[in-house]
Chains A and B, each alone.
Chain A
Amino acid sequence: MSELRFNPLLGEWTATATARQDRTFLPPDNYCPLCPTAPGGFPTEIPEPDYDIVAFENKFPSLRSIPETPSIIGNDFYRVEPSLGVCEVVVYTPHHSSSLANESVEQIYKLIRVWTDRFKELDSLDFVDYVFIFENKGEAVGVTLHHPHGQIYAYPFVPPYILKELSQARSHKETSGRCLYCDVVSEETNFKDRVIAENESFMAVIPFFARYPYETHIYSKRHLQALTDLFVHGQRDLAEILKQVLAAFDQLFEVSFPYIMSIHQRPSDGAVYDYYHFHIEFYPPMRSKAKLKYLAGSEAGAGMFINDTLPEEKAAELRSHIEPVSWQPTT
């Protein structure tokens, strides 16, 4: 059973998706559904013996292009809608024990090309208002499959966090005449100490207002709204800075660093969002080698984050692990 139920208290939709209770949960490595299907072996989700990058409809989706009939009838107060949308899985390596950080910069560049293709296609669907590309990495953020992969949710509405960003960006544009994100880039450039890495097209920072100790944002230096606004030069620069940030994450505590990666682009509802600005946000749950940042009373109950660290200090730590990127394949 799945449907969208409107929360009148917050003005937000919640998806019910009861089939997801039965989804594959941390299977043994030899039964990984995201590995290639070996000849004569366990049939995985990917029915070929090798692949480079694949994208496919999620077997346990919370949104479907042909949605189920809702389990309950709504009314004007308690609104109910079918869970219309698309949920895709993107598997960017056939290697079970790899991670995006361990992939080559060329493979990350290929993944950016795939993200762009998926955004372009899902963006064109009439019933899709927002295309959200993300990756959950590590059991600390709740992954159910260890094989490295990302996901895409194509929602029939613009989700609340993006709506809030759009509201702030529009308000700033109206009052100052400038892009809010371009001003953040300018502030961080001038201050310098929170910048982790940069190249001609992108800047990575732990921003002034970070909510998590190692919350890292990657901003386009140019005023773009979506991946589809990038051309080859920008795609390569994005691949390079992603590789640098991800490798630095893993170096921090010498562990495969867990995170939520969240790609923020303009909505897909056909309206003009020239005041918005493409960027990527990472929310790593680790606050030290042995401690996690939990969303507790103030964060979960009141919506106010308490960061136990200073962004300037954490940025210096992360920056010390940034290394140059090589496009040469490792042998």
Chain B
Amino acid sequence: MEEIETLQDPEMHRRQIELLDGRYLLFYTFEIQDPAGSDRSLKDEEEVTR
């Protein structure tokens, strides 16, 4: 296998490898901010239509 890509965002990391038969495999790891989920100040954007 060969590592061919690493992507990162503040909470989620993605590492891509190529398997022996050529298929890709993505490893996801996380550093969740506020893991207790108590901060609900991060609201979704307003809906576009209804």
Contact = CB atoms under 8 A, between A and B. Distances in A.
A23 interface: no
A179 B47 CA distance: 13
Contacts of B12: 110, 113-114, 117
B4 interface: no
B24 A57 contact: yes
The prevalent SS among residues of A at the interface is mixed
B28 A106 contact: no
A230 B35 contact: no
Contacts of A46: 25
Contacts, number: 85
A233 B48 CA distance: 17
B44 A117 contact: no
B50 A327 contact: no
Nearest to A56: B25
Given A113-B30, A222-B44, A56 B24 contact: yes
Interface residues of A, number: 37
Interface string A302-328: 000000000000000000000000011
Interface string A174-188: 000011001000000
Contacts of B24: 56-57
A234 B29 contact: no
A234 B30 contact: no
Nearest to A116: B12
B14 to A, nearest CB: 7
A271 interface: no
Interface in A31-90: 45-48, 51-57, 59
Interface in B1-50: 1, 11-12, 14, 17, 19, 21, 23-30, 32, 35-38, 40, 42-45, 47-50
A52 B42 contact: no
B35 A327 contact: yes
Contacts of A57: 23-25
B37 A109 contact: yes
A179 B27 contact: no
Contacts of A240: 37
A92 B33 CA distance: 19
B30 to A, nearest CB: 5
A57 B23 CA distance: 6
Given A106-B32, A327-B35, A59 B23 contact: yes
Interface of B: 1, 11-12, 14, 17, 19, 21, 23-30, 32, 35-38, 40, 42-45, 47-50
